[in-house]
Amino acid sequence: MSRASPRMPVYYIPHGAGPCFFMDWNPPDTWDRMAAFLRGLRTRLPARPRAIVVVSAHWLAPQFRLTGHARPPLIYDYYGFPPHTYELTYPAPGHPALAEQAAKLLEQRGLEAAVDPHRGLDHGAFIPLKLMFPQADVPVIQLSLRRDLAPRIHLDAGRALASLRDKGVLIVGSGMSFHNMRGYGDPRYTPVSAAFDTWLTAAVESPPPERDFLLEHWARAPQAQLCHPPGAEEHLVPLLVAAGAAGDCAGERVYSERILETTISAYRFG
């Protein structure tokens, strides 16, 4: 991947609830705005990505792992949904060479990493990608989170991968900016999520050195641990990888809405 390519931005996106975009919901328009945002994302890129690295909240490993399967299968890691949602397809090719390159970049920064030749894409990856790149014609690899969810380590992981952006690789963190299962649908969490979202947006939109400091210490933010309970913050941590990969690029909120009584946002860097 040595040819010159436009530098890609970095995104942190919401992936919704399981296969929510591909099934009936009540009310029917619950996920429409989020789906529209994801469908429109590719039109905001400087060029078609040569490959995608997606960091999903749904893969935690003792050390960083990357998918090395040439034709990654899908992992239907959601439960209790309609039968047809377990037949969804996303036949995007993998990119074993890119996975090896990314593992080396992580190791050069002192982060243990390995390529898993068997694992496929979980729903935190393939569900939003079905909307973002429905033709499934862009190679995809997935990066795990490290199970300790240490903020500094995940910022460092993003920094390690930042150079891939200059080779036409789109880096996407996939999670949910609010993720407390007890809070969804509960109006008592509306002000809680709004307070955290206000802080999170201000942090992302701060100058990069201040941004990284604030995100490293996100647990000190207003209502942070009600929005992401301790030990279950895996849906926020992909944002840290995205911010690390952003380098000196500014961040901005590019989508936000109240959904299931909580505020959910997405961010772009660069």
Domains of the chain with CATH codes = 10-269 (3.40.830.10)
Mean pLDDT of 139-168: 98
> pLDDT tens for residues 20-62?
999 999 999 999 999 999 999 999 999 999 999 999 999 999 9
CA dihedral 167, 170, 68, 83 (to 10 degrees): -160
4: pLDDT strictly greater than 90:
no
CA angle 171, 174, 249 (to 5 degrees): 40
3: pLDDT strictly greater than 90:
no
Cβ-in-10-Å burial (0-12, 13-18, 19+) of 185 comes to exposed
Sequence-distant (6+) residues with CB within 8 A of 105 are: 160, 161, 163, 164
From CA 92, how far away is CA 171, in angstroms rounded? Answer: 16
The residues pairing with 51 across neighbouring beta strands, listed in sequence order, are: 169
From CA 19, how far away is CA 35, in angstroms rounded? Answer: 11
CA 82 to chain centre: 25
Task: Identify the band that residue 5 occupies on the pLDDT scale cut at 50, 70 and 90.
Answer: confident
From CA 121, how far away is CA 172, in angstroms rounded? Answer: 14
What pLDDT sits at residue 225? Answer: 96
From CA 87, how far away is CA 83, in angstroms rounded? Answer: 7
Amino acid at 221: A
Q: What are phi and psi of 49, to 5 degrees?
A: -60, 145
Mean pLDDT of 98-123: 98
From CA 155, how far away is CA 218, in angstroms rounded? Answer: 12
What pLDDT sits at residue 1? Answer: 54
From CA 100, how far away is CA 106, in angstroms rounded? Answer: 10
For the residues of 77-130, what is the DSSP string, one character each? Answer: ---S--GGGGS--------HHHHHHHHHHHHHTT--EEEESS--EEHHHHHHHH
> pLDDT tens for residues 54-101?
999 999 999 999 999 999 999 999 999 999 999 999 999 999 999 999
> pLDDT tens for residues 216-236?
999 999 999 999 999 999 999
- Answer yes or no: pTM beyond 0.85: yes
196: pLDDT strictly greater than 80:
yes
Mean pLDDT of 189-197: 98
Instruction: Name the packing angle between helices 189-204 and 208-216 (round to 10°).
Output: 140
Please provide the average confidence, as pLDDT, over all residues in the chain.
Answer: 97
